[in-house]
Structure 1
Amino acid sequence: MEYWKHSIDALHQQHRYFYRFTKRIFDLVASICGLIILSPVFLVIAILIKFDDPHGPIFYEQTRVGKFQRSFEMFKFRSMRVNADKQLGKIADKNEVSGPMFKMKHDPRVTRIGHFIRRYSLDELPQLLNVVLGEMSLVGPRPPLPSEVEHYDAFSMQRLDVLPGCTGLWQIGGRSNVSFDDMVKLDLEYINRCSFSFDLYILIKTFVLFFKPNGAY
């Protein structure tokens, strides 16, 4: 892991025009096809969310920080109770990971259906729309919250030199069981190694995790 603890070659990444072009075309086609094929799954999840908590919305929009520190609204299926963000202060001392992220295995703000869709990463599916809009890629570093970026050092800030992704090495490498520092190292490893074949490898591994979860909560 220590091998990857160095600065990325940002200039090299900027000049990878063919890779970025083909990745964008693949992202666009795959995400549109995914939205069409998975539309029945979207409908079922939407019904379950409304049945579990009829007074709250189906979708949840959250401000995230993307490439070059540009903010955007990331879409998810709502897995928490309404006003969950405002309740974070009450349980902030129960954070189970180090660094500027918050993770709690038995978060009381998560709904019953929320636990299920989080375990199988189904809450992430609406991010295919972010991919269509060009705000995210299918594969890349996870987009952080603005409050997390405020605590980034120069090393961690390198995660924001590329488009954020729906999945990446962090997700297939342990997800919630991975510390913040290791997540950053995995993201930088991906940026240094990224290629079309490597992206396909990560997508295939992510597809397997839908059926065999590896620590998402």
Structure 2
Amino acid sequence: MRVLNLFIKRMIDFFGSLIGVIIISPILIIIALSIKLTSKGPVFFKQERLGKNGRVFKILKFRTMIVNAEKIGSGLFVKTENDNRITKVGKFLRATSLDELPQLWNVVTGDMSLVGPRPPVPHHPYKYEDYNDFQRKRFEMKPGITGLTQVTVRNSVSWDQRLPIDNEYVEKFNVWLDIKILFRTIQKIFKRESIYIQAENKKRRKI
């Protein structure tokens, strides 16, 4: 049954993302132009991430910050929406999660899925070889644009607190669960809660 669910998941991923890119192409063009006309630098932001079984791939996002933002200030983390590295257009894109839309192409190419654990950068918070068996369980499935963690706690808890939720998704995975997560994601897009981790709790959203 799991094999069948994984096959259906890939079909939904491929055709859903491909059709999605075509349908929202006018929105993608408007966002791209807005970024290009309001700040210096490329439209897209590419970054290495850990995928299924620790394989490294390059994730694609709309650029929401100044060029080389990860090398200045708080580095990989963003404490609040008032971080001066975030562009004006970037604030809106991050608040609505529209900066994640280019990842539909990562789904088409097979590096990602529509639903799954979010992919961390290769060197933070741990290198793949430093994860223990429990922590590595989340890497048994392709990373997703959204996931169970994103529709529950989003960015309001630390990485280690997200791991059990990611593992729960891996253990309980089925197509129906993916569909429910996708619908909940649409609802979350219109809410600004838990986008940034509050400073007093030492929480931050990654670039």
Distance 1:186 1:115 in 2: 27
Q: Does 1:213 pair with 2:192?
A: yes
Distance 2:155 2:83 in 1: 13
For structure 2, the residue ranges without an aligned partner over 5 or more in a row are: 197-207
Distance 2:190 2:83 in 1: 23
Which residue identity lines up with residue 163 of structure 1 in the other structure? K
Selected match of 1:41 from 13, 18, 27: 27
Distance 2:74 2:21 in 1: 35
Selected match of 1:79 from 64, 69, 78: 64
Corresponding residue for residue 70 of structure 1: 55
Distance 1:62 1:181 in 2: 22
Q: Is the 8 A contact 2:151 2:184 kept in 1?
A: yes
Identity fraction in percent: 44
DSSP-derived class of the 1:170 partner: coil
DSSP-derived class of the 1:113 partner: helix
Corresponding residue for residue 6 of structure 1: none
Corresponding residue for residue 193 of structure 1: 172
Selected match of 2:79 from 91, 101, 104: 104
TM-score normalised to structure 2 length = 0.87
Q: Does 1:91 pair with 2:91?
A: no
Corresponding residue for residue 61 of structure 1: 46
Normalized per residue, the structure richer in helix is 1
TM-score normalised to structure 1 length = 0.83
DSSP-derived class of the 2:104 partner: helix
For structure 1, the residue ranges without an aligned partner over 5 or more in a row are: 1-14, 93-100
Q: Is the 8 A contact 2:63 2:90 kept in 1?
A: yes
DSSP-derived class of the 1:46 partner: helix
- 1:187-215 Cα distance to aligned partner (Å, 9 max, x none): 01111111111000000000112222332
Q: How many residues align?
A: 192
Corresponding residue for residue 103 of structure 2: 127
Report which stretch shifted further, 149-158 or 30-39.
149-158
Residue 154 (structure 1) shift:
3.3
Report which stretch shifted further, 121-130 or 180-189.
180-189
Q: Does 1:156 pair with 2:126?
A: no
| Consecutive aligned runs of 4 or more in structure 1 exceeding 3 Å deviation | 151-154
DSSP-derived class of the 1:171 partner: coil
Distance 1:108 1:159 in 2: 33
Residue 159 (structure 1) shift:
1.4
Q: Does 1:168 pair with 2:168?
A: no
